[in-house]
Amino acid sequence: MMMVIEQAINVLSILLNMAGLMLCLFRYFEHTRRTLSFAVIFYLGNMLSNYYWGVYCLVMNDDPVVSDMLAYFGWNLSFVMLTLMLVCLRRERGIRKFSLISFLPIPIAVAQLILYLQYGGIFNNLWQVSWATASACLALNTIDHCLNERSEGKKTPLIECVVLLYIISEFASWTASCFDWPSELLDPYTYMSLLGCVCYLLLPLAFAREYGKNADDLQKAAHSRLMRLFRPLYTVVLVVCCSGGYFLAVWIRNTLEMSIGGRADANPYSIIAAMLFVVSLVIVSFTLTIILVVESGKKTYEGQALEAARDSAERSNEAKSEFLANMSHEIRTPINAVLGMNEMIFRESLEARDDPPGDPERIRELFSDICLCSGNIESAGRNLLSIINDILDFSKIEAGKLEIVEGDYQLSAVLNDVSNMISFKAENKGLKYDVVVDETLPDGFRGDEIRVRQIITNLLNNAVKYTEKGKFVLSVSGKRGPDKTDADHMILMVSVRDTGIGIKEEDRARLFKKFERMDIEKNSTIEGTGLGLAITGSLLEMMGGSIEVDSRYGRGSTFTAYIPQEVTSAEPIGNFRERYENSIRAQKARKESFHAENAHILIVDDTELNLAVAKGLLKKTQIAIDTATGGEAAIRLARESRYDLILMDQRMPEMDGTTAMRKIKEDPNSLNGKTPFICLTADAITGARERYIAEGFNDYLTKPIDGASLEKVLLQYLPEAAISSRDSAGRGAG
């Protein structure tokens, strides 16, 4: 009975030791931490002695008659690993001090050692008790520290609790072995050995709780590859070695019994013990080889990842440097044009003033030159504004502050506007521009009109930039979404095909990345920020759409954007091409949309030049205009005159526009308590309009001021009695 229970415990110890070893080893693949490596070696040490001792007892029904070195080598190693593991955990937890309770195991260990030394094995006893005591002190110290500071969110020290339980089982079993017990069932050694076996399984579970299941990207990649290879391989090798060692030992025993004829001399059976020790060494060696392979693979993978990250960072830095250099060039170019053309206008004007030409042809030629310079200034200014808007939009996208603001709009109006804008650019480069729109496409949609317009404009601008000769075509059609029964939703398919330089195959992956420009040497003279496609891709992603690119290097490209929109009107867009061509032919010099000589307005801005621009834009409307260069001046004028409308700049020194507006409205002496206020500001970030209206403004205009938009706002808020006449063509243009 006694030997049966001992053999059962030995077999259980081997099986649970194997299970704990595999669990810790596989966990080590996920989290290659030093603590886990010590835990794996702890299990290997126990495996070395448990297997060697347990299988011999199972085969020979007796304890092995071998040296203490072979019998206790693995166990001696395991206690050292246990202590090192706890030291690493202590560093991870940031524990530096020892409490008095941490030294409690020392007197207990001394008493146990005195009791146990009388049975011999002085070296093994001193070694194991010393390391076991060190482990117990470290575990107890960590447990005490975590209990005292659990309010600070410290992790529960489950690993240390399991280790302390294991050390207690070892101390108790050593002490119990010093006494004679009536039977195995009454011997505490039996139950303490079972407790130690249970700890083999508890330790991997404690590690799983300590480190969790989430590993970093490097470890996940390494883990997925290693698990597919090593988990089944290691399990098979471990089972084959353990079972093979047992059957080999049985075969050797039977062979020796036959050769010695049943003699009582047991020395020949020492070969079985030696063989089992070798088998256990094979298991240990194989496991250590796996650990080395894992470490080597992880370092190789980390090295490759670091090299790739470094290359990516270098490319990113180079792209940013090129982007900044390009921005400097792109911003300075239109500024140079504005200043240069303005100087030419200034010279021509001074010359005409000081020496007025008498020849009508010369006067016409002079004004033609001035108009040409003015047109160039406008073109350069709009180019500069486009660059700044791209940078601002990209910054808002990066900060996650760009929002999709939906509203009802007509697709034909959007296409007409972008086509009018792009046709001039195409004409200047000698390119043919064509528009193909599905006549059955609905005209009424709900979505973010500004962003839809921006996406189409970016694609068209891109085609103009990279096409030197030939043509480009805008094609617009639609299709139903995945749920084709939903008549209220449609995916707009906007395609821009050009005969430009095309895109290399290797450059397509970087096409929608920030700060990237393709084929820089060839495209060095092409203007633009390089952010257009990055912004387009981000906008489409925010709207739930996508974009496709089909390109042949040197032959042209086709960009197709898929934009999900809600249909608000089933009325078809009709023959858009014909309408567009008619609108081009009907274009003429823009006139003011109304006259209001009876209207009186106040414009407040701290910059004299901005005031001059606003007055100049409204000159032909015949409105009476007062100006103020600050909040205090505006308040004073509001006490003296009643205005039909006040345009108020927002950011001014000493007093901002919001404060000035409130003081005018709340001033009992003011004549403009109920006068409409329009916020006039360069603040064009997302949500600015809503914020200013919430602060009390009636409406919102952004700088630079657009003449048509300014007239449209005035028409909306000026009293009907103050407007003497309207121009329907001008109003439509606005």
Q: What is the DSSP string of 421-488?
A: HHHHHHHHHT-EEEEEE-TTSEEEEEE-HHHHHHHHHHHHHHHHHT-SSSEEEEEEEEE--SSTT-TT
Answer whether residue 542 shows pLDDT above 60: yes
Average pLDDT over every residue of 549-554: 86
State the Cα–Cα distance between residues 274 and 408, nearest whole angstrom: 88
Answer whether residue 617 shows pLDDT above 80: yes
Residue 645: other Cβ atoms inside 10 A: 24
Q: pLDDT band at residue 495, thresholds of 50, 70 and 90?
A: very high
pLDDT of residue 221: 47
Burial class (CB in 10 A: 0-12, 13-18, 19+), 510: middle
| Long-range pairs for 531-536: beta carbons < 8 A, 24 or more residues apart | 531/390, 531/391, 531/393, 531/394, 532/390, 532/458, 532/461, 532/462, 533/458, 533/462, 534/394, 535/390, 535/393, 535/394, 535/397, 535/454, 535/458, 536/454, 536/455, 536/458, 536/459, 536/512, 536/561
pLDDT of residue 565: 92
Answer whether residue 650 shows pLDDT above 80: yes
| Of the ranges 189-198, 308-317, 333-342, the best mean pLDDT one | 189-198
Average pLDDT over every residue of 392-415: 76
Q: Which CATH fold would you assign to the domain 594-733?
A: Rossmann fold (3.40.50)
Q: Three-class SS of residue 640? A: helix
Q: Using the 8-state DSSP alphabet, how is residue 155 labeled?
A: P
State the Cα–Cα distance between residues 396 and 380, nearest whole angstrom: 24
Answer whether residue 528 shows pLDDT above 60: no
Peptide bond into 704 cis (omega under 30): yes
Closest C-alpha among 452, 385, 467 to residue 414: 452
Residue predicted with more confidence, 411 or 27? 411
Q: pLDDT band at residue 731, thresholds of 50, 70 and 90?
A: very low
Residue predicted with more confidence, 253 or 559? 559
Answer whether residue 204 shows pLDDT above 70: yes
pLDDT of residue 686: 58
State the Cα–Cα distance between residues 147 and 93, nearest whole angstrom: 13
- In CATH terms, the superfamily for domain 405-585 is Histidine kinase-like ATPase, C-terminal domain (3.30.565.10)
| Phi-psi label, residue 422: left if phi above 0, alpha if psi -120 to 50, beta otherwise | alpha
Residue predicted with more confidence, 1 or 164? 164
pLDDT tens for each residue of 563-601: 999 999 888 888 877 766 665 555 555 567 788 888 999
pLDDT of residue 137: 92
Answer whether residue 730 shows pLDDT above 60: no
Closest C-alpha among 663, 648, 633 to residue 697: 648
Average pLDDT over every residue of 345-353: 78
Q: Which CATH fold would you assign to the domain 318-397?
A: Helix Hairpins (1.10.287)
pLDDT tens for each residue of 46-75: 887 887 777 777 777 777 665 556 667 888
Token readout for 452 is 């839809």
- What does the domain layout of the chain look like in residue ranges? 318-397, 405-585, 594-733
When the pLDDT of each residue in the chain is averaged and rounded to a whole number, the result is: 78
pLDDT of residue 645: 94
Q: 216-230, 548-562, 674-688, 693-707: lowest mean pLDDT where? A: 216-230
pLDDT tens for each residue of 678-719: 998 877 665 678 888 999 999 988 877 777 788 889 999 999
pLDDT tens for each residue of 121-146: 677 788 888 999 999 999 998 888 88
State the Cα–Cα distance between residues 336 and 332, nearest whole angstrom: 6
pLDDT of residue 593: 79
| Long-range pairs for 69-72: beta carbons < 8 A, 24 or more residues apart | 70/273, 70/274, 70/277, 72/121, 72/124, 72/128
Closest C-alpha among 487, 493, 498 to residue 411: 493
Q: Three-class SS of residue 13? A: helix
Q: pLDDT band at residue 623, thresholds of 50, 70 and 90?
A: very high
Contact 131, 105 (CB under 8 A): no
pTM of the model: 0.44
Q: pLDDT band at residue 522, thresholds of 50, 70 and 90?
A: very low
Answer whether residue 733 shows pLDDT above 60: no
pLDDT of residue 418: 82
pLDDT of residue 296: 64
pLDDT of residue 329: 53
Bridge partners of 410, per DSSP, are 444
Residue 554: other Cβ atoms inside 10 A: 10
Burial class (CB in 10 A: 0-12, 13-18, 19+), 345: middle
State the Cα–Cα distance between residues 201 and 49, nearest whole angstrom: 18
Answer whether residue 521 shows pLDDT above 50: no
Q: 67-71, 271-275, 340-344, 405-409: lowest mean pLDDT where? A: 67-71
SS3 content of the chain, % helix, strand, coil (to 5): 65, 10, 25
Contact 729, 710 (CB under 8 A): no
pLDDT of residue 520: 45
Contacts of 288 (CB under 8 A, 6+ apart): 44
pLDDT of residue 473: 92
Answer whether residue 344 shows pLDDT above 90: no
State the Cα–Cα distance between residues 282 and 303, nearest whole angstrom: 31
CA 233 from centre of chain: 37
Answer whether residue 334 shows pLDDT above 60: yes
Tokens 């940013």 -> residue: 320
pLDDT of residue 134: 92
pLDDT of residue 92: 84
pLDDT of residue 523: 47
Token readout for 676 is 């409409």
CA 395 from centre of chain: 15
Percent of the chain with pLDDT over 90: 15
Answer whether residue 729 shows pLDDT above 60: no
Answer whether residue 88 shows pLDDT above 80: yes
Answer whether residue 451 shows pLDDT above 50: yes
pLDDT of residue 374: 77
With residue 681 as reference, give the H or E element that holds it: strand 677-681
Q: Kind of pairing, strands 471-479 and 432-437?
A: parallel
Contact 451, 489 (CB under 8 A): no
State the Cα–Cα distance between residues 680 and 709, nearest whole angstrom: 12
State the Cα–Cα distance between residues 226 and 32, nearest whole angstrom: 12
